[in-house]
Structure 1
């Protein structure tokens, strides 16, 4: 057993070196959406609802892309622990290929039928028209985003989390400036409103893509692969990867589709309810970056240990991450509860939206520790060990067996206020945690996927 990583000082140092850049990058990505929401929020509730619902389509796409990359990252982390750099490049190539094909599909759908997509989310003609305009512009960023995602995940898994952090920070700065210029028509630029926000985000995604490719190939490191290395994909190699990552892709797809169905349920209440959920989700994403940072760091560290055939280390690391995640969740919950009123003051919305959003955020403050742990178990522990089918069953069962039915029960049949419906939906997180913890203790999730590749 490698004792170095189990030393508390070494563990903390390694955790910070991985989690801090990942958390900052996730914070930046969430802030990019926050900037859009705050700036568009000054235009009114209809605009917030339109952009929020239009972004549900991108959310669905990004979660599928996340699933592809998250699945491939399992192998990249284990190959990195095995010091097999050739196969890391092959996995990266497969990741780019599958993600690129997915990007082409979603781009085509968004460009051909934007109004139909928006009709699925809302019956408000103004929301549909504004959302369709936004969607038809932002769709051009999808393919570039999938490639950026592939290199970002691979960078993290090979110990270079600062690269995607730098590129995301640059994209945020670019998006913020362009939003200000194009939404409000400052310094001679046209006043484009929601369309301006879409153009700003598209340009920032192009900048992010260009930077991450440029930095990786300038450094000439592990990921600076030749085209021939990326496409060196035998049928046997592809099938070995696909049989592990397809449950991750399905997991993210059905989870994202479930989140989309939540939006449909909230939209059945009224446009103000959608605005409340959009604002609260944007704020929640800011606070949940700690969960994503810890979960991804956990996946990388545990994956390396399993790849290096140090399974006992994986259990020790898992227990440490559980304690860390829960503790941070308690602190964040307290911050959200005490600061909910201050946070909402940044948004220019009516009193009903303010009241509902405040209640939703306070409900969220109590569920943060649970969400931190469920994120850690599914993304950080079970997946990194290759236990992807169990994760899939757990996610689908909780979201579609509990969350979605409760959302429509509360919104459509019982006609409850939006904050009560959100509270009902949170029950699925508790159920997920109750099932995940015994699985961790059983050690059945630990699987060396690269030993014979």
Structure 2
């Protein structure tokens, strides 16, 4: 009993706030954890469910064989590269909207949404056209082999057809997160994922009289789900009684002041995304060079580690919102406390996941494939995943704080050092000259996560992020 009391004392708001210069009474443990969870749990649930559905997607495609798993996996990085500009914009949208909410400037928040939607529509349309037209060379550069080329091209082109609604939905959800409404993103993604799973079942293998479209069917299911999610997101900003509300008769123009505020955050996020995508793309290209079986194994393991990443990313989104609102209200002390509280919650989750990944590693991999060679090697990689999980979620908590504060420039620097240089360079050395193959690639991922945790954690502790104006 005394042991339990000791743990509760250690995670109490008073203990976590002991090194923070508070501007008033420290809120109660119950109060601060309740507010953190109210914003974090829908966001975490959303990202985890997206990850789980992505895993089920891979399981369902996996019935077509390792080549199909590899083909779908090869489209991920090109898709994320095209999404980089939109995601960068959305970082600025969340940060600016959160600050305006903290400042009680509702019109400024709504103006930010209108500007962001105009930019998103234009950019996503251009990117979708480019992606569709140049799908074949993009897949070739991505490392598609003869047995995966056509499937990867077909999958990618179909994704591009639904790219615009996908991006618009992401931007609306980013704005809603800024005001703390993480539930709309969870609801839209739950719906999207449900539709995706249903049509995966109907279209991949041609069940219940539907045509057997295999990999094309998986892509069609994805864009059907994202289109419905987009419509739901737009509907969330139409009612008059919501904090974020837009109308067709509003002034739809690129307001210079608003554009400047978004760009101040987003331009660094663009650089960050650029470095990240170059690093991830190079890393995937290195792994693809190990062969189809190795890449299929890698893709399955990425689905597993994405589960822990999803928890961390969900809490990171919540931290960004809480930090942005706290700084907008001139309460950097509360911003620091919310980061620490969310870290406590993340350590509990990631520790549990690490144990599950070790104990049930072969059973988890067995859900994706019955290929003995894949199960054996993936079982070894699961030990690295378990070690990476706690480090990864800790790094994401610091990243969420810096994003919410508008310190995107520093995050871009860490992305350049860790993702664009250290991960691909160490992966190549460990995979080929050292000869560790896929194990070497995953050790490089662990090194990358450790580096980001150290760099972003150091920045958080120095506290300069609390002085940034947006």
The alpha-carbon deviation at position 52 of structure 1 amounts to: 0.7
Give unpaired runs (5+ residues) of structure 1.
none
- CA 1:298–1:4: 2 relative to 1, 3 Å: farther
Question: How many Å apart are 1:315 and its aligned residue?
Answer: 2.3
Provide the residue aligned with 2:154 in structure 1: 133
* Contact 2:158/2:216, CA 8 A, preserved across alignment: yes
The structural deviation recorded for 1:5 is: 7.7
Q: Please state whether the residue corresponding to 2:460 is helix, strand or coil.
A: helix
Bigger mean CA deviation after superposition, 49-58 or 329-338: 329-338
State how far apart, in whole Å, the 2-side matches of 1:90 and 1:373 are.
34
- Residue 311 of structure 1: how far off its partner (Å): 1.7
The answer to whether the 8 A contact 1:373-1:433 is kept is yes
Aligned with 2:86: secondary structure? helix
Distance 1:106 1:330, change over 3 A: same
> Counterparts in 2 of 1:256-271, with a 5 A limit?
256-271=277-292
Q: In the alignment, does 2:368 pair up with 1:320?
A: no
User: TM-score, normalization: structure 1?
Assistant: 0.94
> Which residue number corresponds to residue 83 of structure 1?
104
Residue 163 (structure 1) shift: 1.4
C-alpha contact (below 8 Å) 1:31/1:172 kept by paired residues: no
What is residue 439 of structure 2 aligned with on the other side? 419
- Which of these residues, 427, 430, 436, is aligned with residue 410 of structure 1? 430
Rounded to whole Å, the distance in 1 between the matches of 2:374 and 2:439 is 11
TM-aligned CA deviation for residue 102 of structure 1:
3.0
- Counterpart CA distance in 1 for 2:314 and 2:27 is 20
Quick check: 1:438 aligned with 2:458? yes
Does structure 2 conserve the Cα–Cα contact (< 8 Å) formed by 1:92 and 1:230? no
Q: In 2, Cα distance between the equivalents of 1:218 and 1:316?
A: 34
**Equivalent residues in 2 for 1:78-157 (5 A)?**
78-157=99-178
CA contact (8 A) 2:91 2:269 kept: yes
Q: Which of these residues, 263, 267, 282, is aligned with residue 242 of structure 1?
A: 263
Distance in 1 of aligned mates of 2:467 and 2:247:
30
State how many pairs are aligned: 449
In 1, the alpha carbon distance for the partners of 2:76 and 2:25 equals 44
Deviations 1:373-398 (A, max 9, x none): 111111x1112112111111111111
Match of 1:389 among 409, 413, 418: 409
State the Cα deviation string for residues 340-376 of structure 1 (Å, max 9, x = none): 1111111224222112222222201011111111111
Correspondence for 1:337 among 358, 365, 382: 358
Q: Which residue pairs with 1:180 in the alignment? A: 201
Judged with a 3 Å threshold, the aligned counterparts in structure 2 of structure 1 residues 311 and 260 are, in CA distance, closer, same or farther, namely: same
RMSD of Structure 2 on Structure 1 (CA): 1.9
Q: Report the more deviating stretch, 297-306 or 349-358.
A: 349-358
Distance in structure 2 (CA, Å) of the matches to 1:5 and 1:196? 54
Q: Counterparts in 2 of 1:162-173, with a 5 A limit?
A: 162-173=183-194
**Offset of residue 214 of structure 1:** 2.2
SS at match of 1:221: coil
